[in-house]
C-alpha cells in the first residue's frame, strides 16, 4: 500500500511541514537531493524500498502519512458498480510529541 500512498505532492507537502530542503530529506533518507528532485518532478517512479526510506525519514520527525477509503451512495443503477462510490483521501499529517494537554484547571 505504500506505493499507493506516497505521491510527489505528498513528499513536497511533508518537506514543507518540516521546513526541509531536498538536501535535508536526502540526508535523512540516505539519498541524494537530485534523487528527491527526480521523484518530485516525476522523472522516475521510485521503488518500494525508496518510498519506505522516505516514509521512515519523515516518521522519525513526526510526519505520518494516512490513507483511507469510505464507501457512500445508494442504488443509482442496476449493477453493483452503480450503487457505491469510493471516496479516497491520502495525505500527510504532522504529529508532534510535545502537544500540550488540556487540564481541568482554569476551565469552568
Rounded distance between C-alpha atoms, residue 60 and residue 24, angstroms:
13
Q: Give, in order, the Cα–Cα distances in Å from 89 to each of 30, 55, 68.
A: 28, 17, 6
Q: Which CATH class is domain 2-94?
A: mainly alpha
Let me know: does 14 contact 63? Beta carbons within 8 Å.
yes
Q: What is the pLDDT of residue 100?
A: 43
Q: Is the pTM value of this prediction over 0.85?
A: no
Q: Tens place of pLDDT for every residue, the chain, 108 residues? A: 444 568 898 999 999 999 999 999 999 999 999 999 999 999 988 898 999 999 999 999 999 887 766 666 554 555 555 555 555 556 667 666 544 444 444 444
Q: What is the pLDDT of residue 15?
A: 94
Rounded distance between C-alpha atoms, residue 79 and residue 29, angstroms:
46
Rounded distance between C-alpha atoms, residue 15 and residue 63, angstroms:
9
Domain ranges of the chain: 2-94
Report how far Cα 59 is from the mean position of its chain's Cα atoms. 10
Q: What is the pLDDT of residue 71?
A: 63
Amino acid at each position: 500500500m505504500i506505493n499507493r500512498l506516497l505521491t510527489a505532492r505528498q513528499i513536497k507537502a511533508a518537506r514543507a511541514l518540516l521546513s526541509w530542503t531536498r538536501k535535508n530529506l536526502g540526508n535523512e533518507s540516505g539519498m541524494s537531493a537530485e534523487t528527491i528532485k527526480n521523484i518530485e518532478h516525476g522523472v522516475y517512479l521510485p521503488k518500494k524500498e525508496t518510498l519506505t526510506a522516505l516514509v521512515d525519514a519523515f516518521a522519525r520527525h513526526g510526519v505520518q502519512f494516512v490513507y483511507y477509503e469510505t464507501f457512500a451512495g445508494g442504488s443509482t443503477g442496476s449493477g453493483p458498480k452503480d450503487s457505491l462510490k469510493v471516496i479516497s483521501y491520502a495525505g500527510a499529517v504532522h504529529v508532534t510529541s510535545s502537544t500540550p494537554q488540556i487540564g481541568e484547571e482554569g476551565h469552568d
